Chains A and B, each alone.
Chain A
């Protein structure tokens, strides 16, 4: 039975975290795994209700999400966090706490985000109507060594999802899925072919 792990999406608002989290969740559910998504916006309406956007409040919010992911992971559930999580130190703290932690950096340049702006937030932030807006008036610290980088400005969603799933397979966090990895029998056939040509 597959063990739990945490898939931690990080990136600026509008960079595709929630969309990708949902798509990856669907794929994992199809493969019979237990999955829970902690979406940044949803968390702020319940688990972290009342918290603001000061650095202290943001850190508390991300620590709370990390703690819930930790509980889910140790109970063999796949926890997917989709919150901006702008500060590297807190993300690393969660990585340490959780252990089985896969960080996905949703990279997207600010011009594309401004064009995309699904919630109209960048416009407001640029007009000064929203203070402490990450990427405009608040810092965002990109991860140094995320397990996956998805460039959502130029990649198709399908490509990004496939890369995330392939990484999870490569890490042996999930079993190889249909058409993506090899069954044991296929692996034996491949091994034989490679031997027949002296490649192994």
Chain B
């Protein structure tokens, strides 16, 4: 009789923020990302739906909990504070359900998670956590704090300077490269330092790149195209390095099993901002109490039947839901339908701006459904649905080049998973794998 030790299943997850499946396939096919090309060549790549709305804080919260926004409680980067119309900014503490890392921790597994958006401020964690966007200070982004000196020594950068990025495209590329460099160093540190069962790193530079320099990604004639491709090549080398380390000394495993890559939403080129609050005001649904509204807090609640929050979230100003609610609950369905019909018909230079509209009940399921927007709008490519209260024109040029998309995030895995996944789907499968 032989004594044997049960083999541990480990997982390594690489997040590429804001990378659409089409771009990944193209960069792989064109030789910009050869390591990724080799990984995906054996199958396992599929398109994945992002959260509604398709933004990082919501999508990553879905990924890390396996739950719907009406369960985990994160509906956007902003929400309306109870008892007022002031904007509030949800924190990691607002996440209403445990992450799957917490669940793994309860079963004795350890996780090392680096640069995870929507986890700021960092809190008690079964292993090591470094928060990503919108993390402010590094000191509040690290759990346990014992890792802080090592990260400081690396010169770890949480994110690029987006304010600077708008003014200086070459400076942004310098910043992206430097940030990725420190991310790789930090990943190497945690890989060795932590005895992990689950390892994850998210590259957020891809999202920043797409916001500011999408044209350089898409257009080979753009003067910065080559440098942007070099950035992607560096990302690919990072992925390849993680792949190699993941397989070191594990020859008995099926290659790639437990290694997962995904994005939290897709991206496309941006042609026009669509200011939904300007449209609501022009069409008699919204009124401001001041001449120059700074935010939704400046609406005149009595004269406002609906207002929009970023991105594409329309709330009916319902009595009982909002402090100055003006619409009786019985009138909400008809108003929703009216808004949906009129917004579907919204046209910019002959082209429809809105592709699809989800009602709250279609988009959300869970105990917090009543806190969700009444309608969530998905635009046609090129039309970025904004919740700003500034500006008179409904359609306006943007100083950004790219915008998020909903249905073309990607997932690559060899674990048995749906061919038509939603970003909430991988959590349970990854857990099952790690728990063996």
Contacts and interface: CB of A to CB of B under 8 A. Distances in A.
Interface of A: 149, 155-156, 158-159, 162-163, 165-166, 169-172, 179-182, 186-187, 189-194, 196-200
Given A171-B83, A199-B55, A190 B163 contact: no
A193 B87 contact: no
A150 B106 CA distance: 17
- State the majority secondary structure of interface residues on A: helix
A200 B78 contact: yes
Contacts of B121: 179-180
Given A156-B106, A200-B77, A179 B123 contact: yes
B373 to A, nearest CB: 15
B220 interface: no
A102 B78 CA distance: 23
B96 A200 contact: no
22 contacts: A155-B98, A156-B98, A159-B98, A163-B96, A165-B93, A166-B93, A166-B94, A170-B88, A172-B81, A190-B89, A190-B136, A191-B89, A194-B78, A194-B134, A196-B165, A196-B166, A197-B162, A197-B208, A197-B211, A198-B384, A199-B310, A200-B77
A190 B88 CA distance: 10
B374 to A, nearest CB: 18
Given A193-B134, A199-B77, A182 B91 contact: yes
B189 to A, nearest CB: 24
Contacts of A159: 98, 102
A111 B140 CA distance: 41
Nearest to B311: A199
Interface in B82-134: 82-84, 87-89, 91, 93-94, 96, 98, 102, 106, 121, 123-124, 133-134
Given A198-B398, A200-B388, A170 B162 contact: no
Contacts, number: 74
B218 to A, nearest CB: 18
A179 B78 contact: no
A170 B136 CA distance: 21
B246 interface: no
A196 B328 CA distance: 37
A31 B133 CA distance: 28
User: What are the 3 tightest A-B residue pairs by CB atom distance, in nearest-first order?
Assistant: A196-B162, A180-B93, A196-B163
Contacts of A186: 136
A67 B114 CA distance: 50
Nearest to A170: B82
B358 interface: no
Nearest to B83: A172
A102 to B, nearest CB: 11
B387 interface: yes
Given A170-B82, A171-B83, A200-B77, A179 B140 contact: yes
A187 B82 contact: no
- Of the candidates A171, A191, A192, the one having the most CB atoms from chain B within 10 angstroms of its own CB is A191
Nearest to B367: A149
A158 B310 CA distance: 32
A158 B89 contact: no
Contacts of B191: none
B400 interface: yes
